[in-house]
Amino acid sequence: MTSLSLSDHHFRANALRKLLDPVNILMIGFLAVLAYLVIWPFIQLVVHTLTWGDTDRRLSPDAIPGAFTWFHWLQATAGPLSGKMLYGPLVNTLVTGIASTILALLAGGMLAWCVVRSDMPGKRWLQPLLTLPYIVPSFAIALAWETVFRSPKVGGQPGLYQSLIGVAPPEWLSYGAVPISITLAIHYFPFAYLLVAGALATIDSQMEEGALISGAGRLTILRRITFPVVAPAFAAAFILTFGKTIGQFALPFLLGAPTQYHTVATMVYANLALGLDSLAFVLAIVLIAMSLAAIWMSNRFVGKKSRRFETISGKGFRSRVIALGGWRWPVFTAVALFAFVVGILPLILLGVQSVMLIDGFYGWENLTAHFWLGTSNPDIAFGEPGVLHNTNILGATWNTLKLAFITAIIASVLGLIIAYIVVRRGDNPLARLLDQIAFIPFMFPTIAFGAMYLTLFAQPVGPIPALYGTFTLLILISVVSRLPYSVKTGVSAITQIGKELEEAAELAGASWSLRFRRIVMPLASSGLVSGMMVSFVGVMRELSLIILLITPSTRVLMTVGFGYAEEGLTQLSNALVLIVAVLTMIGELILWGIGKGRLARLREKQS
Amino acid sequence: MKLSAFRSLLLATAIAVTATAAMADEAWRKRAGIGEFAPAAQNWEEIEAAAREEGQVVVYSVSSRIAKLVDDFRERYGVEIIGHDIPSDLQIEKLRREHKSGVYGVDVLFNSEFPMLLNEALPNELVWNFLPDTVIGDLAENEKSPLLVQRHSSRVLFYNTALNPDGPPIDSLWDLTRPEWAGRTLLPSPLEDGLSANFIQTILAHPDEMAAAYEREFGAPIEYSAAVTEAVDSNPLVDKPDAAMEWLHRFLNNQPIFQGSTTKIFNNVADVKQDNPPVGITSFSKMRSNEEGIYAAAPMIDLDPVFGVTYPTALMIADKAPHPNAAKLLIRYMMEEEGLKPWNEPGDYAARAGFEAEQVREFDLPPFDSLKLWPIDPDEIYSSKHNFLALYLALG
């Protein structure tokens, strides 16, 4: 009798504890909020594909607006068009997605190792350079590729390759799978680089020294210690890179369209451009499914092994770099050359094009600072003043920086909390659901996402005021769209932190929020900063996500640049892209400085 | 019993809600003098005074050049132009969603997406036509209604004049399908660029003219390729093959080069320092970019059957515009010399006959009506979008 009541009491206390557990409360809270901010738009997307729209009478005489139909799905998967619209592009998507992801992970991983773990010289300034390709807009990389490997067919001046070698480059080098995979890898390897560098920074040299003393060779150490430790970071980088490369349409369009090489993402875009939204959404859902499958696979992989890779423990920490010996300078030369070609060269190209009075005409007499410093001259660019004289630019710069900083900070902190829930409650299906939901915005067609947010908060809902046309709405959609990055970087950071640190603090009576603020956040700071930088860069150049939500008073730099590009003012839009790139670099350095400072102080305290 | 009572209650509520919305809409039209409440004569003194009172006018504009009007308009009328730079199709999407949630913020749409305007925005009363009486005598019927047209832009075929001193290297659209022109036509991808899709769709809408042009070019009646017959067989929405489809099939299989930017296409065609210049389909108004010794290109105005496709840009008032009088004032202004100035360039023709005559003199171009251009058919383009995608993918 007594024992029964005791166990009953025990059970209730346990249930109560579970109910009051702040992590569980947070998990439920996040699920509820994301249900509205992510699932609801997603459901709208799915419903849209399964109902006849007002405009579908164009597609079929049987259309009854509002009624249920499989028509759009059948069209895309089984109709006469399906081969050209879905299956062909699907193969191309898989080929370029996998090829570019492998290339990006290899490049990012090797570079991270060189920068963090070796004694390569010049690390201090190589480090920021290696994130440049992500800062440089993808079209600039495509532009650089075209400048070199331009086919003589497209007219104008011959490419660099042809000028130097004397023969035209083969077509597979100018357009199609090869250039798309390589340029995508160049654009996205910084994900892998940042994430793996963050993980490598937490490796305790004592583990490696221990192995060395036990007689393990260099390669064995790399294989048995270094690689397993960074595996979660690689997994996160794999998902982000794969997801991003299969969803990217700008690069495949530039380098694939000239020869009709289509991917699923370019087909989504094409259908949207033609106003065929339902078909576009069907293809977008295919992309979402593909990336969710990739997450599921990598979660299985990381979930099984992650416990073994906890590297941040309560014990002392020492980090010692590995001597490269005679390889120091050759490695440095290779890395520096790589950084120059993929990071700086495209920027130089943009810079050169922004000081040419007449675009595409190379000659000293054609150089001008007008597009930077000039005041309005009716003979040049229809009287448009130089970018530094444009009154819109100052306001837009302030808006852009505000949006990027606030979004980066909110997104990475929220991402870290969600990541904490995902990792620490990994056995709870709700936590895994949260992980999947947080990734959906990654693959959402951005224009459609923006359109749904336009009126999501048009009227006040409970305590939330109407957000239509406000800056807050821009921050909200930017944060949600960046969650996939920050959750993934957060997961790779949290996986490395041993539970015992928190358990000790808990025994000492520290509350969860105190533990999170004082233990988890500082220890995850290198991952946190990586997440912030990735989010920051993304928001700086976002356009299609927010184009419908921008008002003249919340204008950002990319909308000004869009105006220039639309008018064919190439030099002005190049100058603006350069400004965005430079501001992004400054912002990154600030974020990096903050993060590094915190991490350094922490290390000092530990040792 | 209970259920039916509930149902009728629901129905009554629904009717009441619809009726209230309709009444609110009617009240707005009455106040704004729009639609059936448009006054017989426009009192511009009153409109101007009311516009000053309203103080601002919000525009969704397809062209960022709207910013150039801000200072002059403020000086003249004391009204601030708030210009949102948004592509035409997205303007309609934005307006539609705003209306659905009861947000009414925009006054004027400056938009060239006629297929969607005439088939979605206008019939659903999202926008209203407004015709300033000051310009009536200067416009053709189809420029006054269903929507007020400000100007006509075109996508046309350009050639390099420096390297073709004897004139255009081709004389027919069918030349683009000849082997010697393989891989030498530049255009924006019709799958990426709505105007490029309109271009191809407009050609598809003229099969008879394309058949006649084929005979003039090759001296024999056209025969259809197997791919065209197959594409027709597999598409329930198309009855029989025609010459325009055949042209699209041959053109797409002659390796056209798709490039994203119309500026780049013009530059690549016009660059004088090259050996074998391509031809390109780009905006007529790009001819302003010609530079002595650097860029030299001209439209091939004698091409058979046409050298391009033309489309109008319209001005209209948004439903429930908060500043209807300022909207009217701005629309009138943008039809006048000062308000048209940012768009006064060779290749873009003002709708107003008086201004067009000036442009013809100033730029030394033929009058608009004499040009061999096909105007887009908004209804045809709107209703055959999907069919076009199907044909395009099947024939490519």
Q: CA B358 → CA A559, B137, B334, B339, B367, distances in Å?
A: 34, 17, 17, 15, 10
Q: Annotate A48-79 with b (16+ C-beta within 10 A) or e (fewer).
A: bbbbbbebbebbeeebeeeeebebbbebbeeb
Do B157 and B100 fall within a single domain? no
CB contact under 8 Å between A568 and B289, yes or no, is yes
Number of neighbours of residue B71 by Cβ within 10 angstroms: 10
Decide if pLDDT at B337 tops 90. Answer: yes
Query: Quick one: B48 and B177 in the same domain?
Result: no
A98 in reach of chain B (CB within 8 A): no
Best of B61, B63, B85, B201 to disrupt the A interface (most A CBs within 10 Å) is: B85
Q: From the list B197, B263, B268, which residue is nearest A274 (CB)?
A: B197
Q: Is B130 on the interface with A (CB under 8 A)?
A: no
The residue among B277 and A216 whose pLDDT is bigger is: B277
Inter-chain residue contact A458 with B102, CB threshold 8 Å: yes
Across the range B77-92, mean pLDDT stands at 91
- Give contacts of A 163-222 with B, CB under 8 A: none
Q: Give the nearest chain A residue to B393 (CA atoms).
A: A84
Lowest mean pLDDT among A147-151, A317-321, B248-252: A317-321
CB-nearest to A157 from B184, B273, B390 is: B273
Asked if A154 has any chain B CB less than 8 Å from its own CB, the reply is yes
- Give the residues across from B154 on adjacent strands: B310
Residue B70, exposed/middle/buried by CB under 10 A (0-12, 13-18, 19+)? middle
Highest mean pLDDT among A87-91, A339-343, A382-386, B17-21: A87-91
Cross-chain Cβ contact A155/B64 below 8 Å: no
pLDDT on residue B292: 86
Q: Which of residues 5-64 of A touch B (CB under 8 A)?
A: 54-55, 58-59
Whether B352 and B275 map to the same domain: the answer is no
Please report, rounded to a whole number, the percentage of residues in chain B having pLDDT higher than 70: 94
Closest chain A CA to residue B341: A382
pLDDT for A11: 67
Domain shared by B169 and B207, yes or no = yes
Q: What average pLDDT does this structure show over B326-339?
A: 96
Of the residues B58, B64, B84, B198, the best mutation for testing chain A's interface (the one with the most A CB atoms within 10 Å of its CB) is B64
d(CA A262, CA B157): 26
Q: Do A153 and B183 touch (CB under 8 A)?
A: yes
Is pLDDT of A360 > 70?
Answer: no
- What would the mean pLDDT of A42-60 be, rounded to a whole number? 84
Q: What is the CATH number of the domain that holds B197?
A: 3.40.190.10
List B61's β-bridge partners, or say none.
Answer: B85, B110
Output b/e per residue, A579-589; b: 16+ Cβ within 10 A. Answer: bbbebbbebbe
Contacts of A153 in chain B (CB under 8 A): 183-184, 255, 257, 278
Nearest chain B Cα distance for residue A165, angstroms: 17
Q: Which residue stretches of B101-204 are H helix?
A: 114-116, 141-144, 194-204
Q: Are A13 and A412 in contact (CB under 8 A)?
A: no
Q: Clarify whether residues B360 and B383 are in a common domain.
A: no
Confidence of residue A8 (pLDDT cuts 50, 70, 90): low
CB contact under 8 A, A566 and B184: no
Query: Is residue B9 a part of any domain in this protein?
Result: no
Q: Is A80–B394 a contact, with Cβ atoms under 8 angstroms apart?
A: yes
A376 contact B CB<8A: no
Same domain, B100 and B163: no
> Which has the minimum average pLDDT: A228-242, A302-316, A379-393?
A302-316
Other Cβ atoms closer than 10 A to B163: 17
* Residues B184, B68 share a domain: no
Within 10 angstroms of residue B315's Cβ, the number of other Cβ atoms is 28
The confidence band for A480, taking pLDDT boundaries of 50, 70 and 90, is very high
Max mean pLDDT among A20-29, A142-151, A358-367, A403-412 falls in A403-412
Name the residue range of residue B351's domain.
35-152+312-369
Report the residue of B99, B100, B114, B191 to disrupt the A interface, i.e. the one with the largest count of A CBs within 10 Å.
Answer: B191
Q: For position A372, what pLDDT does the model report?
A: 82
Cβ of A384: how many Cβ atoms within 10 Å? Answer: 25
Region B111-123: mean pLDDT is 94
What pLDDT is attached to residue A6? Answer: 55
Which tokens sit at A91?
């193969």
Nearest CA in chain B to A359: B267
Does residue B189 lie in a domain region?
yes
Which residues 281-310 on chain A approach chain B with CB closer than 8 angstroms? none
Mean pLDDT for B327-346 is 95
Helix (H) or strand (E) holding A174: helix A171-174
- The confidence score (pLDDT) of residue B2 equals 44
Interface probe for A, chosen from B264, B284, B384, B392 (most Cβ of A below 10 Å), is B264
Nearest to A455 among B82, B97, B385 (CB): B97
Q: Using 50, 70 and 90 to split pLDDT, how confident is the model at A597?
A: low
CA A65 to chain centre: 37
Residue A416 neighbours by CB distance under 10 Å? 25
ipTM exceeding the 0.85 mark: no
* Spatial distance between the Cα atoms of A92 and B180, rounded to a whole number of angstroms: 30
Overall size of chain B counted in residues: 396
Q: Which residue of A has its CA nearest to B259?
A: A258
B16 is a domain residue: no
Tokens representing A325? 């010996």
Task: State the burial class of residue A164 (Cβ atoms within 10 Å of its Cβ: 0-12, 13-18, 19+).
Answer: exposed
Q: What angle do helix axes A177-200 and A471-494 make, rounded to 10 degrees?
A: 70
The confidence band for B79, taking pLDDT boundaries of 50, 70 and 90, is: very high
Cβ separation A155–B271 shorter than 8 A: yes
Q: Is A143 on the interface with B (CB under 8 A)?
A: no
The pLDDT score that the predictor gives to residue B211 is 96
Contact list, A55 vs chain B (CB under 8 Å): 119-120
Whether residue A141 contacts residue A346, with contact meaning beta carbons closer than 8 Å, is answered with yes
Higher pLDDT, B32 or A370: B32
Name the more confident of A213 and B154: B154
Nearest Cβ partner for A154 among B68, B235, B257: B257
Would an 8 Å CB–CB cutoff place B341 in contact with chain A? no
Domain ranges of chain A: 24-55+384-607, 86-307+324-368
- Structure tokens given for A595: 């993060």
Identify which of A275, A359, A392 has the shortest CB distance to residue B89. A275
Number of domains in chain B: 2
Residues B245 and B384 in one domain: yes
Q: Assign A520 a pLDDT band (cuts: 50, 70, 90).
A: confident
Are A442 and A247 within 8 A, CB to CB? yes
pLDDT classification of A369: cutoffs 50, 70, 90: confident
State mean pLDDT over A481-494.
87
Give the pLDDT mean for A290-318. 68
Average model confidence (pLDDT) across chain A? 82
- Whether B13 maps to a domain, the answer reads no
Say which residues have a Cβ less than 8 Å from residue B20's Cβ, sequence separation at least 6: none
Give Cα separations from A186 to A122, A132, A135 (angstroms).
21, 10, 11
Is the per-residue pLDDT at A306 higher than 60?
no
| Within a domain: B69 | yes
Task: Specify the higher pLDDT residue, A478 or B258.
Answer: A478
∠ CA A121-A124-A128, rounded to 5°: 125
B123–A contact, CB cutoff 8 A: no
Identify the three-state secondary structure at position B314: strand
Alpha carbons A18 and A503: distance in angstroms, whole number: 16
B271 in the same domain as B351? no
**Contact residues, chain A, for B102 at CB < 8 Å:** 458-459
Is residue A80 helix, strand or coil? coil
The domain covering A86-307+324-368 belongs, at the CATH homologous superfamily level, to MetI-like (1.10.3720.10)
CATH superfamily for domain A24-55+384-607: MetI-like (1.10.3720.10)
User: Phi-psi category of B85—alpha, beta or left, where left has phi over 0 and alpha has psi -120 to 50?
Assistant: beta
Q: How far is CA A210 from CA A206, A213, A362, in A?
A: 6, 5, 60
Q: Same structural domain for residues B202 and B261?
A: yes
Q: How far is A47 from chain B (nearest CA, A)?
A: 17
Residues of B in contact with A562 (CB under 8 A): 85
**CA–CA separation, B282 vs B186, rounded Å?**
8
Sequential DSSP letters for A149-163: H--GGG-SSPPHHHH
Q: Do B84 and A552 touch (CB under 8 A)?
A: yes
Higher pLDDT, A250 or B329: B329
Cα-only R_g, chain A: 26
Contact residues, B window 187-206, toward A, CB-based 8 Å cutoff: 189, 191-194, 197
> What percent of chain A has a predicted confidence (pLDDT) above 90?
15
Enumerate residues 6+ apart whose C-beta is below 8 A from B214. Answer: B174, B221, B222, B243, B246, B247
Task: Indicate if B61 and B158 belong to the same structural domain.
Answer: no
Mutation test of the interface with chain B: which of A48, A147, A254, A260, choosing the one with the most B Cβ atoms within 10 A?
A260
Question: What rounded mean pLDDT belongs to chain B?
Answer: 90
Report the pLDDT value the prediction gives residue A312, as an integer from 0 to 100. Answer: 67
Among A21-35, A527-541, B205-219, B272-286, which stretch is predicted with the lowest mean pLDDT? A527-541
Give the pLDDT confidence score for residue A139 in this predicted structure: 72
Predicted confidence band at A362 (pLDDT cuts at 50, 70, 90)? low
Measured distance between the N- and C-terminal CA atoms of chain A, rounded to whole angstroms: 55
From residue A596, alpha-carbon distances to A121, A415, A522 in Å are: 19, 19, 11
Scanning A387-446 for CB atoms below 8 A from B yields: 392
Q: Lowest mean pLDDT of A156-160, A222-226, B245-249, name the range.
A: A156-160
Confidence label for B1 from pLDDT (cuts 50, 70 and 90): very low
Mean pLDDT: which of A360-369, A401-410, A562-571 is highest?
A: A401-410
Categorize the per-residue pLDDT at B297 as very low, low, confident or very high, splitting at 50, 70 and 90.
very high
The alpha carbon torsion through B10, B14, B16, B18 (nearest 10 deg) reads 180
Using only C-alpha atoms, what is the Rg of chain B?
Answer: 24
Q: Which of A466-480, A580-594, B80-94 has the lowest mean pLDDT?
A: A580-594
What is residue B352's predicted lDDT score, i.e. its pLDDT? Answer: 96
Cα–Cα distance list, A81 to A265, A327, B237, B319 (Å): 16, 55, 13, 39
- Which long-range contacts link A293-300 to residues 24+ away (Cβ below 8 Å)? A294/A238, A294/A239, A294/A242, A294/A243, A295/A239, A295/A435, A295/A436, A295/A439, A296/A436, A298/A235, A298/A236, A298/A238, A298/A239, A299/A432, A299/A435
Place of tokens 């920027």: A347
Overall average pLDDT of the B43-70 stretch? 94
Question: Is the model's pLDDT at B332 over the cut of 80?
Answer: yes
Quick one: A15 exposed, middle or buried, by C-beta within 10 A (0-12, 13-18, 19+)?
A: exposed
Q: Residue holding tokens 């416009």?
A: B139
Binding-face residues of B in 131-190 toward A, CB within 8 A? 183-184, 186, 189
Find the mean pLDDT for residues A165-185.
88
The pLDDT of residue A316 is: 61
Chains A and B form CB pairs within 8 A to the count of 165
Geometric angle at alpha carbon B233, from B231 and B235, rounded to 5°: 70
For residue A277, the chain B residue with the least C-alpha distance is B386
- Please provide residue B151's backbone torsions phi and psi, each rounded to the nearest 5 degrees: -155, 170
Two tokens at A32?
Answer: 């509820």
Q: Return the sign of the alpha-carbon dihedral for residues B14, B19, B20, B22.
A: positive
The pLDDT value given to residue A359: 67
CA–CA min distance B263, chain A (Å): 5
**B235·A552 Cβ contact <8 A:** no
Candidate ranges A212-226, A272-286, B239-253; pick with highest mean pLDDT = B239-253
Confidence of residue B168 (pLDDT cuts 50, 70, 90): very high
pLDDT for position A607: 46
Q: Rounded mean pLDDT of B155-163? A: 96
Where residue A1 falls among pLDDT bands split at 50, 70, 90?
very low
- pLDDT given at position A9: 67
Q: Which of B71, B81, B97, B272 to mutate to test the interface with A (most CBs of A within 10 A)?
A: B97
Identical topology for domains A24-55+384-607 and A86-307+324-368: yes
Interface residue A66 vs chain B (CB under 8 A): no
Mean pLDDT computed over A351-367? 74
Across the strands, what pairs with B318? B127
Half-sphere exposure of A518 (CA within 13 A, CB side): 11
Please answer yes or no on whether B255 and A551 come within 8 Å at the CB atom: no
Say what the pLDDT of residue B159 is.
97
List all residues 6 or more positions away from B78 whose beta carbon is below 8 Å from its beta carbon: B52, B55
Contact residues on chain B for A469, CB-CB shorter than 8 A? 103, 105
Tens-digit pLDDT profile for residues A404-433: 999 999 999 999 999 999 888 888 889 888
What pLDDT, on a 0 to 100 scale, did the predictor assign at position B331? 97
Shortest Cα distance from A290 to chain B (angstroms)?
A: 23
Among B261, B271, B384, the residue with its CB nearest the CB of A156 is B271
Residues B70, B145, single domain; the answer is yes
